[in-house]
Amino acid sequence: MEISLKNQVAIVTGASSGIGTGIAKSLAAAGATVIVNHSSEHSADEANEVLKEITDAGGTGIVYQCDVSSEEQVVGMFQEVISQFGTVDILINNAGVQKDAKFTEMTLDQWNTVININLTGQFLCAREAIKEFLRRGIDTSRSVACGKIIHISSVHEVIPWAGHANYAASKGAIRMLMQTLAQEYGADKIRVNSICPGAIQTPINKNAWSTPEAMNSLMKLVPYNRIGKPEDIGNLAVFLASDHADYISGASIFVDGAMTTFESFSTGG
Ligand code: NAD
């Protein structure tokens, strides 16, 4: 099966690192023009490096700085992308952070930062994307769907996570956001899905894999017995964004080496 996203424009939020970089490279390799979003001046070099890897491999795209938790900046990003490329076909709502703390010690700032980026950021980007999909309508030279949104959620949309209440709450909420949008805009042929990664090797969870002891302990949670790579998520994102997935909407798809089978029950619980 050959998958092509040619003629399609994809915004990937938080594409300067980790899973977002993997998705951006995979979408570009499939022919999409990719907007490599990053949040601040600190991440500009990383974002430019991602774009260079994309263009060196024959792909196309631009770098765009925007904090997804800022309504003004998100609206500006969509306006700029639409004015440069005509429209947007695919939104990958990926940007996310962790601010971990024992619950009774969690500050309001830690709570708000995670909710603002992980949840409100996905709301703001999805809203602008859907407005643009509806304005453009279906153009079958691009895709049989009017538009595609992929939320990057987590296994923690179903696995509670002590010490990470803000993060788990943001991911649980993404499930309902995703399903509600799939329901509300299904008749408009807008497809909305979530990818729920398990343990993927990126900077966000470095302390879970950077020493042999940590990696051993992590593998006790992963029946498939390897850590995931950003391209494991990128491969699914390409398929989900393509017309091969045209009947998939409202789904949370877990890419987790069977983590959500709850390995601790493998010896009888
Ligand atoms: P990462 O830290 O490598 O990348 C996060 C990206 O988000 C970075 O590019 C960062 O600059 C960007 N970002 C942060 N705040 C932003 C903002 N305000 N505006 C725009 N961009 C912003 O982490 P990652 O592991 O690649 O995480 C990506 C997504 O995958 C997150 O939503 C995370 O919750 C989710 N996830 C990761 C794992 C994992 O094991 N790595 C597992 C499940 C879910």
167 catalytic per annotation: yes
Residue 111: what pLDDT? 98
Does residue 10 come out as left (phi exceeding 0), alpha (psi in the -120 to 50 range) or beta? Answer: beta
Residues 262 and 24: their CA atoms lie apart, in Å, by: 30
Q: Residue with the nearest Cα to atom 12 of ligand 1?
A: 14
- Tell me what the pLDDT averaged over the chain comes to: 97
Mind listing the pLDDT tens digit for each residue in 185-230? 999 999 999 999 999 999 999 999 999 999 999 999 999 999 999 9
Residue 76: what pLDDT? 98
Please identify which of the residues 167, 185, 224, 247 carries the catalytic annotation.
Answer: 167
Closest ligand 1 atom number to CA of residue 98: 34
Mind listing the pLDDT tens digit for each residue in 88-144? 999 999 999 999 999 999 999 999 999 999 999 999 999 999 999 999 999 999 999
Residues 7 and 233: their CA atoms lie apart, in Å, by: 22
Question: Residues 6 or more apart from 247 whose CB is under 8 A from it?
Answer: none
Instruction: Count the Cβ atoms, other than its own, within 10 Å of residue 222.
Output: 18
Mark out the alpha helices in 115-265 (DSSP H runs). 121-136, 165-184, 212-219, 230-241
Q: Where are the domains of the chain?
A: 9-255
Q: Ligand 1 centre and the CA of 18: distance in Å?
A: 7
Which of these CATH numbers, 3.40.50.720, 1.10.287.90, 3.30.2140.20, 3.30.390.10, describes 9-255? 3.40.50.720
Instruction: Give the residues surrounding ligand 1 with Cβ less than 6 Å away.
Output: 13-14, 16-20, 37-39, 43, 67-69, 94-97, 117, 152, 154, 197, 199-200, 202-205
Residue 263: what pLDDT? 87
Residues 60 and 200: their CA atoms lie apart, in Å, by: 26
Q: Ligand 1 centre and the CA of 166: distance in Å?
A: 15
**Percentage of the chain with pLDDT > 90?**
97
Confidence category of residue 266, pLDDT binned at 50, 70, 90: confident
| Nearest by Cα to 12 from 30, 31, 27, 2 | 27
Confidence category of residue 269, pLDDT binned at 50, 70, 90: low
